[in-house]
Amino acid sequence: MTFILIVTGGGRGIGAETSLKAAEAGWDVCISYRSNASRAREIAGKVEAAGRRALIVQADIGSEADIVRLFETCEAELGTPSGLVNSAGILEPLSRIDNIDGTELTEHMLINLVGNILCAREAVKRMSTKHGGAGGVIVNLSSRTSELGGAGASVHYGASKAAINTFTLGLAQEVADEGIRVCAVSPGVIDTEIQPEGRVEAIAPTLPMKRVGQPGEVANAVVWLLSSEASYVSGTVLNVSGAR
């Protein structure tokens, strides 16, 4: 059986590492990217070097039409997906709530929440036994900010990720008897390009392990949740945060 995985935001950070580690675990990978085609091609090349098929698709996860096209393209060129990793997300704008711009806030929620839900919708339509599918796994990317709050700069980000946690549990229950598992991984501070300049160096000494996490450490958890070893794990939010 061929296992096909869609990784949104698969050309950078945690999504890129997830694409590579999933390929090593035997998945063919469809990588979506918003703007950096060269990076997506680089990751696709590494997936192919691991002996798996790769496909890159430009898609803005804030656009419903792009999301539908992403899934249709994957289905046409690789096959029906049996896994989805909702990794695409943004941290900007960094702002106190009393200074936040409404247009930027709307885009933030479209990408971090609405887009993730719509991607899950398209996955369920293809994976659910209710719709003739063979089952599958959805892994959402949350954040420890969902519980820590993000006061001072990212309360809205924390709110979007808290909604992802609730969505993960609710959807897991909704499709539990349709062959689909739904989980989330909640990273702490991870050294990726999503971080504002200087934050990694500044915050590391304040963390319990005195260091930030690496994208591969999060990707390991994601790929485990995708695997048959996690066959009775659903509705779970797994912290990968170094005790934070």
Active-site pick, 3, 27, 157, 167? 157
Nearest one of 15, 2, 113 to 56, comparing CA atoms: 15
Measured from the Cβ of residue 114, the count of other Cβ atoms closer than 10 Å reads: 17
Measured from the Cβ of residue 129, the count of other Cβ atoms closer than 10 Å reads: 14
Please say if 232 is a catalytic residue.
no
Angle between helices 102-109 and 155-174 (to 10 degrees): 30
- DSSP state string for 91-119: -PPP--GGG--HHHHHHHHIIIIIHHHHH
Q: Are strands 180-187 and 3-8 parallel, antiparallel or unpaired?
A: unpaired
Nearest one of 237, 83, 82 to 169, comparing CA atoms: 237
User: Which residues participate in catalysis according to the annotation?
Assistant: 157
